[in-house]
Amino acid sequence: MSASGSEQPGSMRGHIPELDGIRGLAIGGVMALHFLTNMAALQSPLERAVSKLASYGLWGVDLFFVLSGFLITGILYDAKGGARYFRSFYMRRTLRIFPLYYGVLALTMIVIPRDFLARYAPGFLEVREIQGWLWPYLTNFYLAGEGEFSIPYVSHFWTLAIEEHFYLFWPFVVAFLSRTAAMRACVALSLIALSLRLWFSHFGPNELYVQILTPCRLDSLCAGAWFALAVRGPEGVKPLGLGALRWLIVLASSVVFISVWHAADPRWDATLLPLRTTLLSLKARPRSRACSAPAGS
């Protein structure tokens, strides 16, 4: 039994099928972002409207981060105090992510002959030139320095880099802090992330600093982490569930208000957009109904 077992409501263990639906929404948003925006020729008002709507699929990335923070923190807290806490977590993460990620890198950077790539996928030759950034999960830092998503085929690895950086330090936060102290750490890190986004929006070299640097995206991960810790308190999800709808209305209204404000006066984007990202993370956190699913469902 883990050290946190006395506070762990039984309903928090096991598979939560509602989260699969939320993950599906996030995937759909990101797919729409990639396939329906920035099309070469947008002729009709309808096409332009669809492209604009699909651009909000970027919010799916925030939803992925919230889900990741929620699920990972739940796993860590439920295992807290166990003899193999760190070993078990890092081995599972390694077996889940490393084979596919490093398999892709090994195949494209080492195994496939250069002449073959030059003929059929010349973009990978460019990737080989900067592969030193990819192997240690520093894609996001390279792209921020470039100021654009300039890596052919694999620029999207920046999201995986952020999650890997989170996995490096978050197990220690959960292990060595109490549940309440860890929740406070979530709030503190979220405020730091928001402050950094505001700073870089006004004074940073380019907008990608705001979008993809790990310290600037911690609020999404910490929003999910905070909720995972909150529902593992003595009363479980009940205290949060009572106010969930009220907060959802407040946060959703705030997001709409900021979006309308930004559309009407884009000069405020350096302040409004970083704030909207934080509000989206709070609004996207897993809902109490999903968290009350029966164990093993």
Place 203 in a pLDDT band, splitting at 50, 70 and 90.
confident
**Which residue has tokens 């860590």?**
76
In the chain, domain spans: 16-284
Rounded to 5 degrees, φ, ψ at 221 are -65, -40
- Measured distance CA(287)–CA(244) in Å, rounded: 7
- Decide: 155 and 143 in contact? Cβ < 8 Å: yes
- Decide: 292 and 237 in contact? Cβ < 8 Å: yes
Q: Dihedral, CA atoms, 53, 222, 99, 135, nearest 10 degrees?
A: 90
| Highest mean pLDDT of the ranges 203-217, 235-249, 276-290 | 203-217
- Decide: 236 and 12 in contact? Cβ < 8 Å: yes
Minimal CA–CA distance to 131: which of 115, 116, 112?
A: 112
In tens, the pLDDT along 147-171 reads 999 999 999 899 999 999 999 999 9
Minimal CA–CA distance to 145: which of 217, 195, 194, 205?
A: 205
Place 296 in a pLDDT band, splitting at 50, 70 and 90.
very low
- What is the predicted pLDDT for the residue at 292? 36
pTM of the model: 0.77
Cβ neighbours for 249, distance < 8 A, ≥ 6 positions apart: none
